[in-house]
Amino acid sequence: MALAGGDPAAAAPSRVRFRIQPQPYPEALLDLAQQANVTLVGAAACQGVSRSPVVGAMNVEEALSRLLAGAPCNWRMIAAGAVEISPLRQVEAVRAAPPPPTTVGELLVTATKRVRDPRELAVGITAIPRRRLYETGASDPGDAAAQMAGVLTTNLGPGRNKLLLRGLADGVFTGRARSTVATYLDDIPVNYNAPDPDFRLVDVERVEVARGPQGALYGAGAMSGVYRIVTRKPDLGQWSAEARATGATTRGGGPSGALEGYVNVPLWGDTAGLRLSAYREVEGGYLDDIVQHRNNVDRTERQGGRLTFLAQPKDALSITLTGAAQRLRSEDTHYTIRGIGRKRAVLIPEPHVNDIELAAGTVRYSWGGSELTSATGFVRHAYGSFFDATPVQESYTDVAETSAYSERTRAKMLVQDIFLTSRGASNLEWLVGLYASEARLSSPSELLAQRPGLPNLAVYSELRHEMIRELAGYAELSYEPAPGWTLALGGRLYDINRRIRSEVTSERFQPHSLDRSNHFTGFSPKISLQHQFDNGDLVYAVISEGFRPGGVNTGGAFPVVETRESFASDRLRNYEVGLKLERFERRLSLSSAVYYDIWKGIQTDQFLESGLPYTTNAGDAHILGLEAEIAFRADNGLLAQLNGRVSRTRTNNANPEFIPVLADNLPGAPPISGGALLGYERPVFGDWTMRVVGQAIYVGLSRVSFDPRLPRTGGFVHTRVLGEISRDGRGAQLFVTNTLDSFRDTFSFGNPFTAAQARQITPQRPITVGATLFAAF
């Protein structure tokens, strides 16, 4: 069968030295994409085995033509450096069985700032493709965590949670310490020290997680890894659209629902296109407040959208412009008191908001053996919470019946990242980049005295301003000294300036102010050695580092005492050995790693006895861990996945100004966690497809603080079962979450001002049943 290729002008003209051996077409295509540094979509659509090797210098068009000569598939360039594979029209009669679900190794990732097959990277990395997200109903990081080893989220509530990787947790609260996980939307970081913005995963290409310190490439915010959402870009070849509508009911709670969809519009032939996606979601509450006499108080609304423009004026150049926004509102907090079931007794509502806006532009240009990428972004992130602070009001006022504590943050971040990489297959590969960012954070907080019939009166307030400028240069060089062996050296030289200003006023105490600056410079190295065997198995060893700059504490009725005024930088060094292999014609895949981490001067966000936040250095820790992911895919449509993490933590050198003795395990980091997924699909009723998916995640016991005297939380299983029937992109899903209607404490915290009165818990959402209708056009 002759190859039905795309427009020759759409292929990149630069010549690459290819080395592709005869093997199954999906694997051969992945090799081609990696060697040419192009993005590949739909490799699994080309079944069969290539018969002849592709060796020599040629452009991508020539390599695709040689590799796929006689293959039962098409190819076409959908953007600069992006190839889509699809079955030939002539063989659509054999359409009986759809391509099997994608396993860990069947797609390419860009978390290392290059297009790579994760099977060939010396890093623990997991990618969940778009199709898997839809099949499992995963709409946010918490839903997707069951499919990724070592990925957990706290459960304070939507827009309030922290992402945790590998159990490298500095605590479960968010405050002034920089996040340990760098969260990216495409090429732009979206948070500094904020809770996870909780983007709804609508119209995304995949979700990537790179575990372990990534300071050499990503800097101070990647101490435990990188979480990256890769959005779908405009298809320049055809118009398309999709709509999805979901409705659900929760036992004893309010109704939930969501509407989402996208429209893709080509412009000016095949040189430009637009893609618009939007969504609105309502998550019904399930807690009733017996003091305020309100039902389902913890209702949450989330809505947002994204507009992407892609231009490809010539083969080697692409320009992507993206605007995205999300608005999240929770009407109340999600915790209650142990012993009263799914009821709560809070004197006043405790709402939360988390709004984020982003504008970004990415330019990629290729020539010869190099590719230049420039990513520019502006992020505006506004979030805030409201807490019942009545227990501490006597310290601030005598005129209140109840009191509330209001904390808000308005963050603006401008980012520029530009890097140049080598292209093509060579014994020597390199990457060099420059990074610059400026973050400005304004954080007003108030304690408000409340009296019947009168407006709130601010009896304590702090206005804190913070400015952080970072400049960095980074590079990575990899060399193949012998066939199958690769040695890589990299590092990041950084310079960080930080200025903090604070003004505190109070009804009862003297006002005071603070103005401090600090400056940090350093180097974050990385070295790795890997060996890939002839059968594709990979073993690797890596040493990497993560770091975070120190800072200054402000706030409180009195000036901060000298021993608590500042907190020092912390640094984590990671020693890791990993294994990746596939067996039985890629039906079985395994990825595992053993790591040993030394964490010095752990920064942690905590609360004073008054309930006000501050940041300190807790002490040191040594973490020994094992993580593994295994997936098996059978020809009959059966898919099974297991992932897990076990770790042992030993703490020492406790900071006496914080706590005399540290708990052995890091807070929010259970020694054991894991997930499982079982799926099955088959054709029914002719050309319809039936699919059933079940998944579960187990989160072991841990604490919410470094204090060993506090009770443990966790030890729960969360389950989800989903059934689907579809044809040609249209169909329906039925799903059930928390199928056993379990009531377990997922997070023993809710309000720092009332936590001392009784044990706070966050129960699992009761059993929820729902349905989704979807249609693609």
CB-based burial of residue 220 (10 Å sphere; 0-12 exposed, 13-18 middle, 19+ buried)? buried
In DSSP terms, which residues pair with 380 in a beta bridge?
Answer: 357, 412
d(Cα 102, Cα 126) in Å, to the nearest integer? 12
How would residue 337 be classed by pLDDT, with cut points 50, 70 and 90?
Answer: very high
pTM of the model: 0.89
pLDDT of residue 80: 66
- Kindly report the CATH number assigned to the domain that includes residue 44: 3.55.50.30
574 or 665, which is more confident: 574
Angle at 663 between CA 659 and CA 665, to 5 degrees: 140
Mean pLDDT of the region 733-755 = 93
Helix (H, G, I), strand (E, B), or coil: what is residue 27?
A: helix
Which H or E element spans position 323?
A: strand 317-330
**Is it the case that residue 6 has pLDDT exceeding 70?**
no
**Is it the case that residue 444 has pLDDT exceeding 60?**
yes
The reply to whether 130 falls in a domain is no
The reply to whether 696 falls in a domain is yes
**Is it the case that residue 261 has pLDDT exceeding 50?**
yes
409-435 pLDDT per residue, tens: 999 999 999 999 997 767 899 999 999
25 or 2, which is more confident: 25
pLDDT of residue 107: 62
d(Cα 217, Cα 122) in Å, to the nearest integer? 14
352 or 91, which is more confident: 352
Looking at 46, 67, 94, the residue that finishes a domain is 94
The region of weakest confidence among 366-370, 431-435, 550-554 is 366-370
**Strands of 483-569, DSSP E:** 485-506, 512-532, 538-548, 551-552, 566-567
pLDDT of residue 686: 86
How would residue 79 be classed by pLDDT, with cut points 50, 70 and 90?
Answer: low
462 or 70, which is more confident: 462
The two three-digit tokens of residue 573, written as one number: 């060094």
Mean pLDDT of the region 303-320 = 92
Q: Which of 260, 258, 202, 262 is nearest to 771 (CA)?
A: 258
The reply to whether 759 falls in a domain is yes
The reply to whether 352 falls in a domain is yes
In the chain, what percentage of residues exceed pLDDT 90? 66
**Is it the case that residue 61 has pLDDT exceeding 60?**
yes
Q: Which of 225, 227, 221 is nearest to 570 (CA)?
A: 221
**Is it the case that residue 653 has pLDDT exceeding 80?**
yes
Mean pLDDT of the region 521-525 = 95
The answer to whether residues 75 and 222 belong to one domain is no
How would residue 399 be classed by pLDDT, with cut points 50, 70 and 90?
Answer: confident
755 or 769, which is more confident: 769
**Is it the case that residue 326 has pLDDT exceeding 80?**
yes
Residue 15 domain boundaries = 1-94
How would residue 51 be classed by pLDDT, with cut points 50, 70 and 90?
Answer: confident
Looking at 79, 94, 109, the residue that finishes a domain is 94
Q: How far apart are the first and last CA of the chain?
A: 29
**Is it the case that residue 601 has pLDDT exceeding 80?**
yes
In the chain, what percentage of residues exceed pLDDT 70? 95
Mean pLDDT computed over every residue of the chain: 89
The reply to whether 110 falls in a domain is no
Helix axes 60-67 and 25-36, enclosed angle (nearest 10): 170
Asked if residues 11 and 61 have their Cβ atoms less than 8 Å apart, the reply is yes
**Is it the case that residue 8 has pLDDT exceeding 90?**
no
Looking at 94, 112, 144, the residue that finishes a domain is 94
Q: Name the DSSP letter for residue 562.
A: H
How would residue 2 be classed by pLDDT, with cut points 50, 70 and 90?
Answer: very low
Parallel, antiparallel, or unpaired: how do β-strands 288-289 and 343-344 relate? parallel
| Rounded alpha-carbon distances, angstroms, from residue 772 to 207, 258, 703, 734, 775 | 22, 9, 37, 7, 10
The region of weakest confidence among 334-343, 459-468, 731-740 is 334-343
Asked if residues 433 and 474 have their Cβ atoms less than 8 Å apart, the reply is yes
- Kindly report the CATH number assigned to the domain that includes residue 488: 2.40.170.20
The reply to whether 610 falls in a domain is yes
Question: What is the number of structural domains in the chain?
Answer: 2
**Is it the case that residue 476 has pLDDT exceeding 50?**
yes
The reply to whether 571 falls in a domain is yes
How would residue 14 be classed by pLDDT, with cut points 50, 70 and 90?
Answer: low
The two three-digit tokens of residue 366, written as one number: 């290729």
Asked if residues 768 and 251 have their Cβ atoms less than 8 Å apart, the reply is yes
199-255 pLDDT per residue, tens: 999 999 999 999 999 999 998 889 999 999 999 999 888 899 999 999 999 999 999
